[in-house]
Structure 1
Amino acid sequence: MAIRRSGLTLVELLVVVAIIAAMVGLGLPVMKAVLRSFQSEDSTAVLVQTALNSARAMAMGQQRYVGIRFQQAYCPPKSPTEARQYLIFIVYSPDADLASRFRAVRGLEPIPLPEWAAVMDMEFSGPLVGRQGPVGPGEWDDKVLSDPDVLRDLATFSIVFGPSGRLAFKEVCVRDAGQLFNSISKVQGGVGMFVQDDPDAKDLGLAKEESRDRFLIYDRQAFNEALRRGRPLSDCLNMVLQRPWYVNPYSGNLVRGR
């Protein structure tokens, strides 16, 4: 006789996490206590893993490229670290003018990362600091990581799965012209939550780029304190750079670097 198993599906777990995050945003003390119990790097990885599993399932089910996008809500150009970071589901939606276009998945709200936590790409656009090509950790220093546009670039990246369920390396340009993503002028006017990848946002560190297979999870408060001292790399990121998180290209599972 088949054994009946109980428990939450991945989609149900994602809904639970989103509800907890929403209730925390309303300031409910009990929910804040629940979230505090999740305040560790591994717990943030669990949330991201759940989202990756859902994106991978959608990619296979819909036979389309589907992924997750990490991005901060819009804030004034000089204070990117003060903005909350979100996880947004995106789907490949090319048009005649832009072959690399992705948009937000309809009906799925952005999910805030735990308030203490943030994730970071492992390379940024060199032209932001007068260099050529992408700039990886080997070229980072405290000065470049104090640049607000560099920090905004590092906080904005995507992980994408193809129709087969395998990890895809695909150029991603998120444009939506809706209530989530919009042009910088529209977002500044209150229409949209995130600045889309437009040419006029390139100098802010927002531009099309290839999807990723690795990232860092770090303590947002500790980073901001180190940033105020002018030592974001020396006093904070050096500790997590040794052990980044990788996405298995076949299963989509997160693997911790050693």
Structure 2
Amino acid sequence: MKTILITGATSGIGEALCQDYQKLGHKIIACGRNTEKLARLSTYQNIDCIEVDVCVQQQVNEKLSDLGELDMVILNAGSCEYIDDAKNFDGNLFARVINTNLIAMGYCLEALLPQICNGGQLALVGSSASFLPFSRAQAYGASKAGVAYLARTLALDLKKHHIDVSLISPGFVKTPLTDKNDFKMPMQISAQQAAEEIINGLNKRQFDIHFPKKFTLILKTLALLPDSWWQAISARSLQK
């Protein structure tokens, strides 16, 4: 039995991960803000719940700094908002998304990294949106690009502590967050499918976990094109 802490555990991918890891017989520490959802998760065997807002450093320090030895930490909490008018840039929206998706991750790392055991694992949930620039995604894409860089540097510096780091970059996953999107989401998969991909990748201790492969490999290939080519492709798609 491993002890696995998951943030953003009350919906979408985080909730699916809690349920799947619980079925596999592991002890789960589920972290989130939704009291009702946490109460429901707490009815499962081997799931302990902590109500915490990861954007509030004091809460993170008070509630997550003294949990005992952890085998795996999955930092999954995040949000998504779009900047609809780049010319009239919304600085407050930008700060809000960066704070939730990136700064809060730093708070969690400060509290949780000392508790990850020798041979343990750390997983950061980014996004395939960081592979390429997309319209309206200035805040979300920048935050997830920051997560990707953070994961890569942590992988280097935590190796001497025998902690394996994974960067999780999903494509479109059906969650309450993506249900708000007002555009087509090609090759969208369910949160359950996403959880299965993540668990499989973490079992293999892979650094780069991205899915669905058909979609993410297309993005990775497009990212190799000159910027001017991608800008032209993007401009044509926006005109449709």
Q: Normalised by the size of structure 2, how large is the TM-score? A: 0.28
> Which structure dedicates a bigger proportion of its chain to helix?
2
